[in-house]
Chains A and B, each alone.
Chain A
Amino acid sequence: MSGERATLALRVVPPAVLGFGRGRRLIERNLLVARRTWWVPLSGIAEPVFYLLSIGIGIGKLVTSIPGPHHSLIPYAPYVAPALLASSAMNGAVYECTFNVYFKLKYAKIYDAVLATPMGAADVARGEVVYAMLRGTAYAAIFVVMMAALGDIRSAWAVFALPAAVMIGLAFSAVGMAATTYMRGWTDFDMVQLALLPMFLFSTTFYPLSTYPRWLQVVVELTPLYHGVSLTRSLTLGYVGVGDVGHAAYLVAMGAVGLAVASRRIRTLLLR
């Protein structure tokens, strides 16, 4: 049998249930580290919550209402809150899978040790991506509770906002991890900022697509965060439609491609 080839295929194609297999050993390692400095990851939730409060008690006073999905008119805070949920899922995932993974890859040499054991490159990729997802899910859960407390949730569909945030986390952590394997030095991380900041500011986070000229609308519609924002907004505002299936599919496909590239790249980087 061509064992390694078969397992390679199995390792590269993400299995239906992620994180099962040896990758979970890496999750165990990360949790052990996080346990000691729990306040650092925990403080990561502060940023989106501060944004939420700032919108609610500050900018919300300046912008009274804004056009929402299906020609609705929506108070500003419930409009922005789901977008902040989506972008914080993006930020958390990217942060974990770029800076942290790069540090482990190039400086701490964590994966060199890991790959000397029966674990493989795909186990590393899967372990890190699933860990980032877990962390993102914890943030998203806290955020959704905060939204509910501030009255920014307007539909029972919102229970699906958490899985939606997980999907966003998966998509961005997988692609972030793949991108990290191409980084040559810390200065390359400014490219990450170059990708994240415009998405955060322009993916209909703060105001609707109709604000832009048509050509810019098309550009925005191509970005992954736009799909994440649209999905979470439909769910928490309760305007769920067929389009949301498309948004979800976009995110899942992005995650699958990112994971496959990341596994392959870790292989070529470390198993030379």
Chain B
Amino acid sequence: MPGEPLIYGRGLVKQFGTVRAVDSIDFAVERGEAFGFLGPNGAGKSSTMRMIACVSPRTSGDLSVLGLDPDRDGARIRGRIGVVPQEDSLDLELTVRENLYVYGRYFDLPRSELRPRIEQLLRFAQLTERGDDRVEPLSGGMKRRLTIARSLINEPELLLLDEPTTGLDPQARHALWDRLYRLKSQGVTLVLTTHYMDEAEQLCDRLVVMDRGTVAAEGSPQGLIGRYCTREVVELRFGPGESERHADKVADIPERIEVLPDRLLLYTDQGDATVEAVQRRALAPVSVLVRRATLEDVFLRLTGRQLVD
């Protein structure tokens, strides 16, 4: 039905024993958009993705995927979506080409249909030359591309990517982003989780920031920066443990100040003016850096700096 979101969650809960991994979240993903779940480890991103992928039954709340109920129509939904899991689950005992073939057979796709599609996906993943090689010796980037190619074997309307570029080198990440743009321009709806802020800014039209199982904020990357952060950040670097001494001297200058052991972060809309003001106070920072605020600042503001394991 037109107008109905492709994925729709309301009051969605996932409980493991006494732990609420996902604690009543609301979200909607429209057809054709790229939607991100952002959050630190343990925020509930992967649990949410697994519920959408129909491999994890929800504890309570509403969830509809492609207009269907995962509890009732799991197999039908899975037949129409593609999944790129957090860890590659490639079949190491098979070749690159066989991986695509076997996976396609799991979808009950006929051989005749699979043959041309496999060649097309190998080209898409830039793996045509490695088609008959075993998967094991491939590089991390190649394996990731193959996993994405595999997730496209059933020509899905919706692609779920759980931390698609974690652990890849910069070249491999950019190559992957390029493939994802292409899919998006072809009309595939992308839903991804990430904790790389540049990735979220690059890829997502809209995203939610998750923290401890709940949605902390929702919006476009630029909108979130506007709402939760200033335009620019001035970083004053001092020797280890020295920054705290200087904090009081400049605290009145920016809109907000954050004190880290070796740095002061001054959140401001006018970076250069702030730097001038700081210089008048006769501090001697080791270095001064003015930069644009990023989603990372929003993220840290919303989810805090504590390490979550």
Question: A120 to chain B: which residues have CB within 8 Å?
Answer: 74-75
Measured CA separation A272–B50 after assembly (Å) = 9
- Count, chain B residues at interface, CB 8 A: 33
**Chain A: interface residue total (CB-CB under 8 A):** 26
- Our pick among B16, B103, B108, B150 for the contact of A22 (Cβ within 8 Å) is B108
Q: Are B89 and A112 in contact (CB under 8 A)?
A: yes
Residues of A within 8 A of B106 (CB): 22, 25, 114, 117-119
B102 engages A28 (CB within 8 Å): yes
Most buried by B among A7, A25, A110, A118: A118
**A interface SS class:** helix
In angstroms, Cα B107 to Cα A22, docked, is: 9
CA distance A270 to B72 in the complex (A): 18
- Establish whether residues B89 and A109, one from each chain, have CB atoms under 8 Å apart when the complex forms: yes
CA distance A271 to B55 in the complex (A): 5
B78's contact among A7, A118, A270, by CB below 8 Å, is which?
Answer: A118
B76 within 8 A of partner (CB) = yes
CB distance from B55 to the nearest CB of A (A): 5
B103/A3 in contact, CB under 8 A: no
Is A108 engaged at the interface, CB distance under 8 Å to the other chain?
yes
Q: Is the CB of A110 within 8 A of B74?
A: no
> Given A271-B56, A272-B56, does the pair A109, B107 have CB atoms closer than 8 Å?
no
Q: Is the CB of A33 within 8 A of B94?
A: yes
Docked pose: A117 CA to B102 CA in angstroms: 11
Flag if A272 contacts B16 (CB, 8 Å): yes
Contact B105 A3 (CB under 8 A): no
Say if the beta carbon of A32 comes within 8 Å of chain B: yes
B283 at the interface (CB under 8 A from A): no
Given known A-B contacts A25-B105, A29-B91, A271-B55, A116 and B78 have beta carbons under 8 A apart: yes
Partner of B102, one of A2, A22, A32, A109: A32
From 24 to 58 in chain B, residues with beta carbon under 8 angstroms from any chain A beta carbon are: 50, 53, 55-57
Q: How far is the CA of A115 from the CA of B55 in the complex (A)?
A: 7
Q: Does B289 contact A (CB under 8 A)?
A: no
How many Å from the CB of A181 to the closest CB on chain B? 17
A29 touches B73 (CB 8 A): no
Which residues on B sit within 8 Å (CB–CB) of A36?
93
Q: Please list the residues of chain A having a beta carbon within 8 angstroms of any beta carbon in chain B.
A: 2-4, 7, 22, 25, 28-29, 32-33, 36, 108-110, 112-120, 270-272
Taking beta carbons and an 8 Å cutoff, which residues of B are in contact with A? Answer: 16, 50, 53, 55-57, 71-76, 78-79, 83, 85, 87, 89-94, 98, 101-103, 105-108, 150, 154
The 4 A-B residue pairs whose C-beta atoms are closest, nearest first, are A117-B106, A113-B89, A116-B83, A118-B75
Kindly list 5 other residue pairs between chains A and B, CB separation below 8 angstroms, not including A118-B79, A271-B55: A4-B72, A25-B105, A115-B55, A118-B78, A120-B75
